[in-house]
Structure 1
Amino acid sequence: MTSFVITVPGTFGVDITDSTKSTLESALASQHTDVSESEGLDLLTLNEDGTFSVRLEVEAPDRYEAELNASRILTAALKKAGIEESDAPLGPPAVTGIDSDI
């Protein structure tokens, strides 16, 4: 297995309170580990115009599975934070870091 840092962009169509942001970050915290923390990456970047990006570290056999897993994790975290999928459309995930024993 390989550790991938995946960046998933999106846009909030609703206002995000500090409480909602905190709940979202808590739901994603387990995906912010060795590689992403050592690189000093922020888990969630929220811009003034409502756009955001989330950087998650996931274990997967390949890039495709890593991107799918990251999207699933983010979708579940958004739901847990009370944000409907239609209120936070996601853009295509991208690999922004890889840590492999190979």
Structure 2
Amino acid sequence: MSTYVVTVPGTFLDAPSDAAREALVRALRPADPQGTGFGEAEHLDILTVYPGTPAFSLKLEVEADTAPAAGERAVGLATGALGTAGIPAESAPLGEPVITGLATD
């Protein structure tokens, strides 16, 4: 089992409220990459919204046996957190996950 930091890109087709963004970050807090050595070193944030665009990215720490499994797990966490925050999946489509860090046991 390995620990991965996975970046999941997305687009807010309907801009979420500040409260919804806060709820999204709160829902993802258990997967915060700050708990990893590379997360601390790189000052990774769970949610990054790119100024002047509807684009965003989520950086999540997940444990998995393979990179594809880590990507699937991260997308599942992101989808669940968006729902918990009241952001419908159709208003925030997600892109392909990218492995941005790896720590093996």
TM-score normalised to the size of structure 2? Answer: 0.91
Q: How does 1:2-81 map to 2 (within 5 A)?
A: 2-33=2-33, 34-35=35-36, 37-39=39-41, 40-47=43-50, 48-81=52-85
Give distance in 2, aligned partners of 1:86 and 1:17: 16
- What is the SS of the residue equivalent to 2:15? coil
CA offsets per residue over residues 60-93 of structure 1, 9 Å max, x none?
0110100000000000000001111110011100
Cα deviation, residue 37, structure 1:
3.5
Count of paired positions = 101
- What is the deviation of 1:49? 1.1
Runs of 5+ unmatched residues, structure 1: none
The answer for unaligned runs of 5 or more in structure 2 is: none
| In structure 1, distance between residues paired with 2:94 and 2:31 | 18
Q: Quote the Cα distance in structure 1 between the aligned partners of 2:9 and 2:81.
A: 14
Distance 2:76 2:63 in 1: 13
Identity, in percent, stands at 39
Moved more, 75-84 or 29-38: 29-38
CA RMSD of superposed structures (Å) = 1.1
Cα distance in 1 for partners of 2:68, 2:14 equals 30
- Secondary structure, aligned partner of 2:75: helix
**How far apart in 2 are the matches of 1:42 and 1:67?**
18
Where does structure 1 differ by over 2 angstroms across 4 or more consecutive aligned residues? none
Distance in 1 separating the partners of 2:28 and 2:2 = 19
